[in-house]
Structure 1
Amino acid sequence: MNQSFIWRRQALKFAASALCAAALSRTAQAQPSGPVRLALIESMSGPFANTGEAVFRNILWAVERVNARGGIKLPGGARMLALERYDSKGQNEEALSALRAAIDDGARIVLQGNSSATAAALVDAIDKNNERDPSRRVLFLNYSAVDPVLTNERCSFWHFRFDAHADMRVTALMDVVKDDASLKRVYLIGQDYSFGQAVLRESKRQLGALRPNVQVVGDELHPMGRVKDFSPYATKIIASGAQAVVTGNWGNDLTLLVKAAREAGFNGTFYTFYGNALGAPAAIGDAGIGRVIAVADWLPNVQTPQSEAFYQSFRARFPKAADDYVHMRMQLLVESLAQSIERAGSTDTVAVARAMEQADVTLAGQRGRMRAADHQFQQQLVVGMMDKLGAPGVKFDVEGSGYGFRVVKTVAAERAEMPTTCKMQRP
């Protein structure tokens, strides 16, 4: 082989390497360098505005924590998270309009949770958008919409749920119900939409299996967000002879229900999904001591040093007593997103979704992992009982009310986990 040929070959190799490097440089420069936009679609006005604001504070705090540590590390450089609010006004059509606006604004991560009916509408719309417009695919991260169908027969590759679904929460509550030998009569009441219906349906099923000697003396659904006076319902509860009420109500529908029951003289127990926040403890008052039970993924009075430090940090960020409702699952959601984007090495929607199927995060001693089969987050649940601030196990109260929830049962993630009927269709 003559020397000139060798020189020519080396020159060609050098030119190819230079072209490759230039192409890589152009690709890196072409990659988006702005923040990763998160679109929060929630009721920021109307009867459930307080729930939307509570969510916003939680997600904002989680986003701030990620950004404070330098953002999300990607090959092209760190990316910050940017949280943007879209008001659904508590209406499905408004939520769908907000989704379209968020996509047009460049958001590819959508967050929502307060209302399973809205979540179902968003899942359908996102499925259609992602099939029709692959260049603008969207992920839906759900922190509170707990209708079981969303990770069962209506499961979607683009949807991830970070809250325990209704059947899982009912199972945790029934772990307490089954131990109450004195309980003979139960009244079931809920909001008349998919989630409220699911709570009542599963409660009846589990009561029949675990406590067949317990009589269901009321099984009632009411319009969501439209009842201003729950005294007629309270009168029926008392007339039924019920010793306990099981409800999945949330927001003002819960606060007004328990307030009416208290004023009517109901002395029984409330088994709730959300009785530990958003005005409910203050509305119930002393009548709730030892009588209001709530299930959650975490409570401020979980007695570990890590848990206490976590709660104190949130209170330092939002010092107003009315703002103190912190959701651990929302913090784990944002941590899972950050972890998944870094593992994917990009913000490509499909790559992030595949990485999120393997999400496994821990914060303040609380661990959660995503189940790939149906995109249902798995974590331990706790059941708390209302008591006065300062009582054993109640170091922290709720919203400055003077009442808090002591943990009476911890349900391991393995115990809370339930089978799924999801048949996931993946791209």
Structure 2
Amino acid sequence: MKHLFATTALAVSLVAGHAAAEDTLKIGYVDPLSGGAASVGQIGLNHLKFIADEANAKGGINREKVEVIGYDNQVNAQTSLVQVQKAIDEGVRIIVQGNGSSVGVAIEDFVAKYNRRNPDKHIVYLNYGAIDPVLTNEKCSYWHVSFDANVNVKMAALTNFIKDQSDIKKIYLIDQDYSFGHAVADAAVKMLKEKRADIEVVGNEFHPLVKITDFAPYVAKIKASGADAVITGNWGQDFSLLLKAAGQAGLKVKWFTYYAGAAGGPTAIKQADLAGQVYQVNEGINNLGYPEADKTIKAYIDRYKDAPVVFPRIFNTAGLLFKAVEEAKSSDPADFIPKLEGMEYKTFSSGGDGFIRKEDHQLFQPLFISSFGPLKDGESFDEENTGWGWTKIGEVAAKDTVVPTTCEMKRPG
């Protein structure tokens, strides 16, 4: 009889354990948590953990507890695939990644192949920041959703702004030497030629990804070129150290960027004394005055005082995911991906209208062009405790960011 009770207890325990596992919505965050890009990767993980805690405090998503697990990929494609497989082995079916388009392409391919081989246990790749256009064009996949505007969409907004700056005559391009950096440079050359053929591109430089510790030689080339503006897709330490070198060299030009607002960027801009000379294009900034966002931003910054950087695109990613899971009443990707297709959404920073295009799973959303400098009247949030913040100088509605796609998506079934 004692043996029977022990066996029954073990069976109940196993069933309970299985139920607990089923009642957890696991998100695997595969991004750099060590090395030169760790500061950016850790902030992304902070975001997801904050969002998960907020959701769990309200009872979870469909009564499932949200669990976020970090996996360090070191911005390396092969390491990323090892980490994705580790996540799958640990019961994760939702993969989130955003830093490095070369990594994004590798994960997108891996996920598509995995799902073909495991038709009863699908996984999904939610991409919050890898924006090489190939991801939603020739490489597009049903099992991939992109929550950040791609390189071409952002460059169109930047060059539309640049074309009206009559003082810009010479532009220098400097980018990281991988697929994203080349996509930025190619788009800049093409669109500048179309919109301001009189602007001379006086440099088109590429450097190794998160390996350069002293950008002084690169800044010397920019100064020697006579450029009055720079376009760069650099992010993380590659942007911060580039601006640091510019400040030390006294290089006073306009900077047009994709990721100046990422970790370390605002501090570097202030230290270089470039008030009002650094611009970025992205999906949102603090100080837009949207009450719902302001409340969340304040709560987030209060929790992460040492790294108070906010990525709106991660809040959009999680918000759309949770909405789809709730509508599908399931955290199985096969069930909730159809809900994401065509989904309309009020975006995090401004409450502006956004939507996911069914044809390529690209989120279209309002984009903002902003400049960085001392806080203005009515602006509450500074960046990285600098006393400076981002100020909106331009906005593009989601409908005006739509570009064609070459995606020929293969759908399951």
TM-score relative to the length of structure 2: 0.91
Structure 2 segments unaligned to the other structure (5+ residues): 1-14
The within-5 A match list for 1:192-207 is 192-207=177-192
In the alignment, structure 1 residue 388 sits paired with structure 2 residue 380: no
Change (3 A) 1:146 1:393: farther
- Picking from 308, 314, 317, the partner of 2:303 is 317
Deviation at 1:191, TM superposition (A): 0.3
Cα distance in 2 for residues equivalent to 1:323 and 1:100:
30
After TM superposition, the structure 1 = structure 2 runs for residues 33-72 of structure 1, keeping only pairs within 5 Å, are 33-72=22-61
2-structure distance, mates of 1:307, 1:242: 38
Q: 1:357 aligns with which of 335, 338, 341?
A: 341
Is 1:343 aligned to 2:327, yes or no? yes
Name the structure 1 match of 2:90: 105
Question: Which stretches in structure 1 are left out of the alignment for 5+ residues?
Answer: 1-25
SS at match of 1:218: strand
Supply the AA of the counterpart residue of 2:359.
A
**CA displacement at 1:416 relative to structure 2:** 1.5
Shift of 1:258: 1.1
| Contact 1:103/1:136 (<8 A) preserved | no
Matches of 1:172 and 1:358 in 2, distance apart?
Answer: 23
1:213 aligns with 2:198: yes
2:284 aligned with 1:295: no
CA contact (8 A) 2:235 2:262 kept: no
Distance 1:306 1:345 in 2: 26
Q: Which deviations, in whole Å up to 9, do the C-alpha atoms of 1:98-127 show, x marking residues without a partner?
A: 011111111100000100000100111111
Please tell me the residue identity of whatever aligns with 1:44. Answer: L
How does the TM-score come out when normalised to structure 1? 0.88
Could you give the per-residue CA deviations for residues 266-322 of structure 1, whole angstroms, max 9, x where no partner exists? 11001011112311222232631111001110100213333433322222332x1x3
Tell me the CA shift for residue 30 of structure 1. 7.7
Cα deviation, 1:111-151, whole Å, max 9, x if unaligned, reads 00100000100111111111112233210000010101100
Instruction: Give the equivalent residue in structure 1 for 2:151.
Output: 166
Count of residue correspondences = 393
Equivalent pair of 1:384/1:406 in contact (CA under 8 Å):
yes
**Where in structure 1 do 4 or more consecutive aligned residues deviate above 4 Å?**
29-32
Residue of structure 1 in register with 2:12 after alignment:
none
Task: Give 1:273's aligned residue.
Answer: 258
Q: Which AA in structure 1 matches 2:150?
A: H
Match in the other structure for 1:264: 249
> For the residues of structure 2 that align with 1:177 and 1:392, how far apart are their CA atoms?
26
Aligned match of 1:376:
362
CA distance in 2, matches of 1:129, 1:218: 42
CA distance in 1, matches of 2:377, 2:226: 31
Q: Do the aligned residues in 2 keep the contact of 1:281 with 1:288 (CA within 8 Å)?
A: no
> Does the residue aligned with 2:78 lie in a helix, a strand or coil?
helix
Distance 2:231 2:258 in 1: 9
Counterpart AA for 2:301? R
Deviation per CA, 1:159-210, whole angstroms, max 9, x where unpaired?
A: 0010111111111211221110111000011001110000000011111111
TM superposition shift of 1:394: 4.2
Letter in 2 for 1:385: S
2:106 is the counterpart of 1:124 = no
Higher Cα Rg: structure 1 or 2? 1
Task: Give the Cα separation in 2 of the matches to 1:368 and 1:170.
Answer: 19
Q: Please report how far the alpha carbon of residue 31 of structure 1 lies from its aligned counterpart in structure 2 after TM superposition.
A: 10
Say whether 1:402 aligns with 2:391: no
Assess, with a 3 A threshold, how the Cα gap between structure 1 residues 72 and 266 changes in structure 2: closer, same or farther. Answer: same
Give, in whole Å, the separation in 1 of the partners of 2:227 and 2:113. 46
The offset of 1:70, in angstroms, is 1.6
Q: Which amino acid aligns with 1:52?
A: G
User: Which digits, 9 at most, give the CA deviation of each residue in 1:310-336, with x for residues without a partner?
Assistant: 322222332x1x311111221121111
